[in-house]
Amino acid sequence: MNELQPYIHNLLNDTLTSLPLFKPELYISILFLLVLVTDLIFGKQSDWVCRILACAGLLFILTADLVQYATFRTQAPLLLFNNNLLLHHTATIQKLILDGLAFLLLLYLPWDENLKAHPKGLGDVYTIIIASLLGMHLMVMSATWLTIFLSVEMVSIASYLLVAYRSENAFSAEASLKYVLFGLASSAVMLYGISLIYGFTGTIELFDPLFVRNLLQVNPLSVGFALVLILAGLGFKLSFVPLHFWVPDVYQGAATPVTAYLSTLPKIAAFGLLINFLTPFISSTDWNVLDFRLAISAVAIVTLIAGNFAAIWQQNIKRMLAYSSIGHTGFALMAIVTFSAQGVTALNFYLLVYAIANLGALALVSFFANAVQAHTLHDYRGLGIKYPVASVSFVILLISLTGLPVSAGFNGKLLVFSAVYAVYQQNHSIILMLLLVTGAVTTVVSLFYYLKIPLNLFLKKPEDHQEGTIINKSLVTFCIVAAFVVLLLGIFPDYLGKFL
């Protein structure tokens, strides 16, 4: 027992030193408990109370994030809690993005009439999203295999609950079941890969100097197999090809705000985790087992092609946006393969502007579903004349998602292209040139399906639409603001770029 005392003493000291740097996560935990208890006390009448409490709490958490951001803008990365978490500048930026988007999502939730009409109310949804936010914070800071798996599972369980929350029809129930089964399978695959890597290295710490050194002593085929299994588990969260098969059905079957959640928050957190996962291998000059640049570039090319071309044939709006989300994943992977600070900055900018535009677009999907029960391209015919403000906002957001000039999406894609081209100039890699060409071609292809929506809104003959519930002015205002933001960041990208 005596020989353990110094170890325990050092462990406690490290924990106490780490706690002040863990404030945002502690605040999220407290907010989760407060919203949970409030929901239990007020029951079905708790929706508005939980919403106010959750939004106010997130503003408080954003303040703590800003303090961390200001600190780590110049400070070197720090390992916390006995090397289990890594706090650095990129992580603080991604936490700010995640918490800001979560705040917008909580505002949007009750404006979707289908979700609002759920007999259980929305108190549970607020609680689940806040709990998942803690998991996402841990994902972008994970520095050991233990924290990687636990954080991914925290977010996965929350996602399963949200997708299954609305299961009033057979398609929604089937989509939620498919998501859970595939999610469990991907978790098992990733855990098996983690167990192999731990067996090979004898350490769970990604940034342990022995980690890569010990891997290099193992048979390359075995190491490569284990790493592919881990990437497959992460790929399920990122929804890149060939692990994208769950996306169309789940995005279509889930409530629209849940689709907005799945296509933004967990994806951003997964990219943050992918950066941490790749860093030890990229930093090692001796690593030669698996060419991550080649592997991820090949995945990005296939994902760009499959996502964008499949979206062309879709008639359901949510299903179309699901395939486009897969295409955007491929584009974000382009920034990852640069393995450079410029690439990480481009990635953060791209993910933020994509998330704002996608969240606004899906909010407008809710608007048209609320107003006239419109769910397909055919249903959108002539609605541009009837709802001009919402329709013009939709067009602006789609322009940003496409990446056309004078939009934030254009600047995001330009930053990604610039980062990839800068690396190509250094090594003249053929795979990077193929990546650039594929990104440019698929951006043009995306025009063919994104423009179908304004085509039907403004140029097709109006249909006799079924009247829906009410026109939510708050939802329209939310979408107008989102459209204004993507235009503002398109004209003045430096307003955001200098902070990334």
Question: Using CA atoms, how far apart are residues 125 and 113, in angstroms rounded to an integer?
Answer: 14
Q: What is the mean pLDDT of the chain?
A: 89
Residues 6+ apart with CB under 8 A from 132: 154, 155, 158, 159, 265, 266
Question: Using CA atoms, how far apart are residues 432 and 434, in angstroms rounded to an integer?
Answer: 5
pLDDT tens for each residue of 312-328: 999 999 999 999 999 99
Q: What is the mean pLDDT of the segment spanning 414-436?
A: 92
- The radius of gyration of the chain from alpha carbons, rounded to an integer in Å, stands at 22
Question: Using CA atoms, how far apart are residues 414 and 417, in angstroms rounded to an integer?
Answer: 5
- Residue 133 corresponds to which tokens in the numbers above? 């936010």
Categorize the per-residue pLDDT at 12 as very low, low, confident or very high, splitting at 50, 70 and 90: confident
Task: Name residue 316's beta-bridge partners.
Answer: 376
pLDDT at 148: 94
Question: Using CA atoms, how far apart are residues 50 and 127, in angstroms rounded to an integer?
Answer: 8
A 10 A CB-CB count for 1 gives: 5
Question: Using CA atoms, how far apart are residues 230 and 292, in angstroms rounded to an integer?
Answer: 13
pTM of the entire predicted model: 0.94
Question: Using CA atoms, how far apart are residues 379 and 80, in angstroms rounded to an integer?
Answer: 53
pLDDT tens for each residue of 214-267: 898 989 899 999 999 999 999 988 888 888 888 898 998 888 999 999 999 999
Q: What angle is formed at CA 301 by the lines to CA 300 and CA 306, rounded to 5 degrees?
A: 100
Question: Using CA atoms, how far apart are residues 176 and 268, in angstroms rounded to an integer?
Answer: 22
Contact 273, 136 (CB under 8 A): no
Burial class (CB within 10 angstroms; exposed 0-12, middle 13-18, buried 19+) of 6: exposed
pLDDT at 429: 87
Contact 164, 176 (CB under 8 A): yes
pLDDT at 371 over 60: yes
- Residue 317 corresponds to which tokens in the numbers above? 């709006």
pLDDT tens for each residue of 280-302: 999 888 888 888 999 999 999 99
DSSP 110: G
Burial class (CB within 10 angstroms; exposed 0-12, middle 13-18, buried 19+) of 460: middle
Q: Which of 355, 399, 363, 397 is nearest to 478 (CA)?
A: 363
Question: Using CA atoms, how far apart are residues 475 and 477, in angstroms rounded to an integer?
Answer: 5
User: What CA–CA distances, in Å, run from 80 to 12, 22, 156, 276, 382?
Assistant: 12, 9, 24, 14, 56
pLDDT tens for each residue of 134-177: 999 999 999 999 999 999 999 999 999 998 887 666 777 788 88
Q: Domain limits of the chain? A: 291-500
Residues 6+ apart with CB under 8 A from 493: 349, 408, 411
Q: How many CA atoms lie within 13 A of 364 on its CB side?
A: 32
